[in-house]
Amino acid sequence: MLLSISAESKIHVGTRIRSIIAIAIVVAGQGLWFGLSLSSLEANGAVREYQKNLSDHYEIGLGTVPYSPSPGIVHFAAYVENRDTKVRYSNAEVFLTGFGPVMDGQPREVVEIIAMENTVLDPTSYEVNVPLNQEGLWTITVKVSTEIGLVESVFEIEVQETDAVVPMVTLLALIGFLIILGLSARAWVKEYRRKRAWRG
């Protein structure tokens, strides 16, 4: 009878420990993802918000990943939509250029004109990675050419350093949670062993 209880208890302990480990892994993964997102270390991804300008026959949208970029490589995505038909172009020629913020006594950084290429998953989305290395307000110009004409549209992109406090607090909270979880698991195992020794 004692042997049967002991075997059943072992299975129960193993299940509990595996559950604790699984929870820890999930929480750690979510915490790291959240921290990386907040620190704007995300690379290429879907642009969810666009600045939109109307220019001649077109609506031109421009967005960035991350939405609020910090100095470094910024992922740009643009679309070109016919204002009359509401159809987005997949065969437009789209180029991006721009100037950095005005700095006292320093020349403005220049973004040399660069082609934005169609993406595989969405041919109506034109994307490119561009280094924006200065904090401040950047002036970005998107040039579009289709069979009905050539236009330019000007956008402003604010580049600023990411607040490092929030991801740091998130990381510390995650570490604290994992420590408490580990101590709880250890105490539970010790209690189980004590009860097992008493039964023996």
Coil vs helix vs strand at 193: helix
> Which tokens belong to 155?
């956008």
Res 96: pLDDT: 98
**Nearest residue to 131 via CA among 63, 70, 80, 41:** 70
pLDDT in tens, 34-44: 444 433 333 44
- Indicate the pTM of the whole model: 0.60
Q: What is the pLDDT of residues 146-161, one digit of tens each?
A: 998 999 999 999 999 8
Q: How many CB atoms lie within 10 A of CB 132?
A: 23
Distance CA 179, CA 25 (A): 13
Map out the domains of the chain with their CATH numbers: 51-159 (2.60.40.10)
Give residue 4's pLDDT. Answer: 46
**Model confidence band, residue 105 (pLDDT cutoffs 50, 70, 90):** confident
